[in-house]
Structure 1
Amino acid sequence: MAAPDKLPGALPLGAQAMPAAMPTTIPPAVAQAAVRWLLDLEPGDSSTARRKRQQWQSWLDANPLHAQAWQRIAQVDGQLRGVPTAVAVQTLASPALSRRHAVRLAVMLGAGAGGLLALGQSPLGQQAWLSASADLATATGEQQRTVLADGTRLLLNTATAVDLRYSSSERLIVLRAGEIQIESAADPSPDPATGQARPLRVRSSQGLARAIGTRFTVRQYADDTLVQVQEGQVELQLRNDISQTLRLAAGEQGRIATQQLLREATAPAADLAWTQGMLVADDMRLGDFIAELARYRPGRLHCTPEAAALRVSGSYPLADTDKVLAALSRALPVRISSRTRWWVTVEIN
């Protein structure tokens, strides 16, 4: 559905004048809240859409700074589409924002025309919403290491969002998007009711992975969840049928699908290269390689069907995708065509 020409609610896009007495700098928390609302609002007249607009209107009326942040969005007038969330928030919070600056920024980032509201219905918008609302999150191309309250070590891969649901009876990590590696720690705060250690679980869209003194990775795909075990054991469980379980040992991997648990071949060592900041290919189709590399690069990175059939081998640093692309152009008969830094095609030379 096309985005409406007005944002829903009492304030048409660009219609409200900014009060002169207001501060010129918007606190980042308010700017981020405005972005969240923009991504969460829905067009149409469904009960859910009406309820969200009522909640948005209440937020808007609660503080003059909220209206000012919304007016900044109106000034941008859709030109922030495709801009990473962190950049959008910085722009909204900037006291020097002007339409000319916003348009220049959008052109520089390869952003197209259209409303920010449409962004909320796109994969980029969904990722931005996850990043803004999750307990822990990484942007595209970013990795983050953290130690949780119980001593568990957590590594977030690119474009990953997790929530932490620790209670007196369980330690739950909710993987909302992306990929994580978990190195479990002994529970320092056993369940007071039973005296037993609280189970450490990772929940994905399809099911649960329970750690049994272990180190393992979990990746959320669109239709299933991949679990790879490096140390110890992990027990898989379907979300909609807890009677189905599958235990994996070190070196094994399995998938949690909607209706079944699948044990697969031994986990390839190259699949863990991302934990060391590398992408390793061993006679890999270039199309598959580029699809994996694209996870670490903002914007659109793809290759033509002719180039996709080529084979690639080697170890490549994920921290600099430009260098990886340059190395490919030297090793293979391909050229890198860039419309902008955010729109890159790999094609036969």
Structure 2
Amino acid sequence: MQNKSILPENSTQIPVEVSQQATEWYVRLQADDVTEQEITEFQTWLQTSQQHQKAWKCLEQFGLSLDSLKHPLLKQALLSIDQKAPSRNLFPTKSIAYMIMLGGSIVTIIAMQPQQLWQQWQADYKTQIGEQKSIQLADGSQIILNTDTVVNVNYNHKQRQIELIKGEIHLEVVKDPQHRPFSVSNRDGLIQDIGTTFNIRQYDKHTVLTVSEGEVLVTATKSQNKAHVHAEQQVLFNQYQIQNIKAIDLKYSTWKNGMLSVYKMPLNEFLTELNRYSRDQLSYDKSVSKFEVSGVFPLKEYQKVLDSLEQQLPIKVESQFYFWKKITLKEK
């Protein structure tokens, strides 16, 4: 990654990678097994550059603190930058706003426990917002990671297991000469493959499973309720319940090809879906939900899609503040 900042050219400039480094240090130092060597390395990192110190102080302005940790080296490192800083309010609002937009990492930290953050940081494979990645597994199976997705892969002589920590994946599973079972686990349940192609998307409070070919068995984590899902079927489930299975039209499952295909989708739902692939913060008036969208849209052409919507519908897209955009009805 190039050492280039997205902040304005002023004294509060913080390069993107420095903000990410500060985030990673916060995650690691919260872990129960953090070592004295790692704390020493953190202290060295902190003292190497004023930008490192500014990035760390910006994290603290979001309410993130390691004051609860008692290790003397860590307390010494944090105390050293407190003494150097004339004021805790080191950053203007616009600089903090830019920090918020750095992949959503700082905002995510506030909403998550350190253990979850560490789990995501240490994962085998991950994608950034707007990124998609195809991975060929050791047995020839393929997994495609959608935007903002985190997974672990655990292959051994007894099993083939994928752990979906966050986001959405599409899997094409091949038969294993060693006859090892293939499964995907996530927060809400266990999905056992019976020779198939399927898609899993984890939302905040539930998971959606879509089967393209073959059959899978899904088991809810807490209740152990089970359901068989077949080709061209979809089911929503959480840790306790599995809803009724429904038939679907697979031609609208095109994200793995870099496209978003929809038919008569309410505009507000379309905007929410589209925004998954951009670092922009998009808001809209409730009144726009009365419009419907149909078509196939390139996921990597976020701004062009918004421009097209603005031309086709009586709406206007306004850039309000850096990465913030708002969509409203055009005035008559």
TM-score (norm 1): 0.70
What residue is the counterpart of 1:37 in the other structure? Answer: 25
Q: Does 1:160 align with 2:142?
A: no
The aligned counterpart of 1:145 is 134
Paired residue for 2:166?
Answer: 177
Is it true that 1:219 corresponds to 2:201 in the alignment? yes
Counterpart of 2:303 in structure 1 is 322
CA distance in 2, matches of 1:308, 1:57: 54
Offset of residue 156 of structure 1: 0.4
Shift of 1:103: 7.3
Matches within 5 A, 1:1-349: 34-39=22-27, 52=32, 55=34, 59-62=38-41, 65-68=44-47, 72-76=51-55, 77-78=57-58, 107=95, 110-111=98-99, 120-122=109-111, 132-188=121-177, 190=178, 197-242=179-224, 244-349=225-330
CA contact (8 A) 1:131 1:138 kept: no
The question of whether the paired residues in 1 share the 8 Å contact of 2:198 and 2:211 is answered with yes
Which residue of structure 2 lines up, in the alignment, with residue 9 of structure 1?
A: none
The two structures have a TM-score, normalised by structure 2, of: 0.74
Unaligned runs of 5+ in 1: 1-27, 43-50, 83-101, 191-196
Q: CA shift at 1:33, angstroms? A: 6.1
Q: In the alignment, what sits opposite 1:99?
A: none
Tell me how far 1:320 sits from its aligned partner: 1.1
Task: Name the CA distance, whole Å, in 1 between partners of 2:201 and 2:302.
Answer: 21
Alpha-carbon RMSD: 3.5
Shift, 1:283, TM fit: 1.5
How far 1:277 sits from its partner (Å)? 1.1
The answer (yes or no) to whether the contact 2:229–2:245 under 8 Å persists in 1 is no
Task: Give per-residue Cα distances to partners, 1:72-99, cap 9 Å, x unaligned.
Answer: 43133418999xxxxxxxxxxxxxxxxx
